[in-house]
Amino acid sequence: MRNACPVVHEIVCFFIAKRSTRGIKVAKKPKTVLKKPKVIGKKPNAAERAKPQVKKRVTLLVVSECPPLGLESLKVKDTQLRASSYKRRGLGPHRGRLNIQSGIEDGDIYDGAWCAQYRDKKQWLEVDARRLTRFTGVILQGRNSIWRSVWDIVYTYKVQFSNDTLVWKPCMNGTEEAIFEGNQDAETPVLALFNTSTVARYIRINPQSWYQNGTKGDICLRAEVLGCALPDPNSIYPWQTEPTESKDKLDFRHHNYKEMRKLMKSVQEECPDITRIYSIGKSYMGLKLYVMEISDNPGKHELGEPEFRYVAGMHGNEVLGRELLLNLMQYICQEYKRGDQRIVHLVKETRIHLLPSMNPDGYEMAFKKGSELAGWSLGRYSYEGIDMNHNFADLNSVMWTAIELETDRSKLINHYFPIPEQYTTEEAFVASETRAVISWMQNIPFVLGANLHGGELVVTYPYDMTRDWAPREHTPTADESFFRWLAVVYASTNQVMSNHDRRPCHNKDFLRYNNIINGADWHNVPGSMNDFSYLHTNCFEVTVELSCDKFPHASELPIEWENNRESLLTYMEQVHRGIKGVVRDKDTGAGISDAVIKVDDINHHIRSVADGDYWRLLNPGEYRVTATAEGYFPSSRTCQVMYDHYPTTCDFRLTKMPKERLKELLMKGGKLPKDLQLRLRQLRMRKLRVTTKAINQRRAAAAKRAKRV
């Protein structure tokens, strides 16, 4: 592995990172570091208890070679965290994790840091690595809170090590006890690298100074610890044998824009017959939004073959989705060449589109800081400062306003809502990336998709917006049952989400909801891509929150792939659930585009595409389905959806109305067929009877009036 640790007797190593860590605050390196890693064994001597010095902040292009232990990713369990004291349960040591987010309500069990009960220099937060570990550094943040002052931060701190929690040895800076600089604000992560690495099992962070203003200002912090676990020949504990790699030979690392483009090109060169790379537009800074298409006929929509999409990186700092899609395209290519029948069938029966980075500008900002130092929001927004998850046209309000104002229900539409004119103007505050994705959605008849995010472990489904702008409220679509099925499919096959022993990521326990939730029931999100997709196109889409950590360390990517591989594949296969078919002209056999497909008792229609083919996602059951098109008589039939992994075929042949057929024939200069002549004669006779009846009624009324006179 790229970040493998050297053996314990080697000197501590630092390496120059390929990516810049501009602005990272680290402890100053001594001129000479020819020292072995210290191993805890005895109490510090008098020289080591000399007057402490605060290590100055400097800017260096260095990062620790050792990965994080996993406080942020929850790899470190709550039972591995202890503290000298804590104010209450919601501010306990289990909340002292880097980037943890507080709850909406102040004082609940989900607060945004560990906070000591007392304000003195005897307070500490302790991490048990469970085995001998070569500790190399610490990252610190202040307290996250919606309601509290942002000044609950630690200015300086010491670090101690132990093997038994009885004898503690301080981290030294030469002959002096090291004091590290902490935070100046609550959210910016600050990295401190130790001058010499130390081998121990336990590490303590011991605050020395903190913000104080009278009675205000508590000792609060969120932390991550960097360290390399040492090999244990016994390996007697379960946590020592947990897998850290994947059996799949994929490129497990973080890829910047150039590296992503290079990897996509290598996949295309390896599997040229089933892949195609294309761009749907550019970001504000001119980076292309590349898509990998995977199909047995790339570049072409095949009749009856559904289109599927995955979109990642809408928030540039939520990077796991980006890497998973890069892994997915490699995996499909490799397995297709190997002859894996599941993958071969998926490629031949589905046209797959993978957009790994919708917000490349934001990603580049987060990438330059690195996985643990980007914080919670750096890179989330576009270069213009737009949150693309709120940037799509709000068609929900258009729909609900029409429902409130329209008295004639037959005039209401329930699909293909047009985009408001003010949204399409050049002056509208719409990101260039959002415009590109909307155009993409309009040009390709997607049936199913998913939007990959990070920072939680849950699958959300539409609607994402509440009807009356409430902070949260369950707001279902007409396809609630199928959306719930889609969410369950991903969540139940995800190895982390389906683990009932896992703890909540931040401030909501989604295990209570089986790791799925209606988006609006979590929080109100107007202008979401999921809602827009459902109301403006045929495509059903959910949001997958992939991990507690928005920017996992590269060492965690193999396991994250293992956690999500089956989910990604199984979810794609759901595009073949329900009914499909072709709507054709009964006389010519030509496909009819824009035909409306209605399912009884489900108030949401879809439409056929250019060649007349359509797909309607449905759960197993019996449905009465009607196809209508302008100028044609409607046609209805009963369609049975089974539990099989393929759709039920329900084709329609529509008969043109006589007027439309007459127009068509006269334009071509042809003769009228006998059936059309008979139909026209019948229509004329009906019209004659109606007009004659009306004339007779008017004459009778006139005669009555004359008699009265």
Specify the domain boundaries for CATH 2.60.120.260 within the chain. 78-232
Structure tokens at 467: 């009807």
Note the pTM of the prediction, 2 decimals.
0.84
CB 137 within 8 A of CB 194: yes
| Residues labelled as active-site residues | 545
Strands 57-58 and 26-27 come out as antiparallel
Query: What is the distance between the alpha carbons of residues 43 and 49, in angstroms, rounded to a whole number?
Result: 10
User: E strand or H helix at 386, and its extent?
Assistant: none
| Structure confidence by residue, pLDDT tens digits, 108-146 | 788 999 999 999 999 999 999 999 999 999 999 999 988
Query: What is the distance between the alpha carbons of residues 390 and 594, in angstroms, rounded to a whole number?
Result: 29
CATH architecture of residue range(s) 579-656? Sandwich (2.60)
* Residue 435, number of CB atoms within 10 A of its CB: 16
Structure tokens at 304: 């009856």
User: Nearest-CA neighbor of 79 among 68, 69, 92, 94?
Assistant: 94
CATH architecture of residue range(s) 257-574? 3-Layer(aba) Sandwich (3.40)
| Structure confidence by residue, pLDDT tens digits, 384-429 | 999 999 999 999 999 999 998 877 777 888 999 999 999 989 889 9
DSSP 646-683: SPEE--EEEPBPHHHHHHHHHHHTPPPPHHHHHHHHHH
Query: What is the distance between the alpha carbons of residues 40 and 201, in angstroms, rounded to a whole number?
Result: 9
Specify the domain boundaries for CATH 2.60.40.1120 within the chain. 579-656
Phi-psi region of 169 (alpha: psi -120 to 50; beta: other; left: phi over 0): beta
Structure tokens at 583: 């709507």
Note the pLDDT of residue 374.
87
Query: What is the distance between the alpha carbons of residues 538 and 606, in angstroms, rounded to a whole number?
Result: 5
Please classify residue 391 by burial: count the beta carbons closer than 10 Å to its beta carbon, then call 0-12 exposed, 13-18 middle and 19+ buried: buried
**Which of the residues in the chain have pLDDT under 50?**
1-52, 56-62
Q: Which CATH number fits domain 78-232: 3.40.50.720, 2.40.30.160, 3.50.50.60, 2.60.120.260?
A: 2.60.120.260
Question: Strand pairing partners for 591?
Answer: 584
Structure tokens at 26: 């680290």
Specify the domain boundaries for CATH 3.40.630.10 within the chain. 257-574
Which phi and psi angles does 241 have, rounded to 5°?
Answer: -115, 10
DSSP 502-570: PPPSSS--GGGGTTEEEHHHH---TT-HHHHHHHHSS-EEEEEE--S-SS--GGGHHHHHHHHHHHHHH
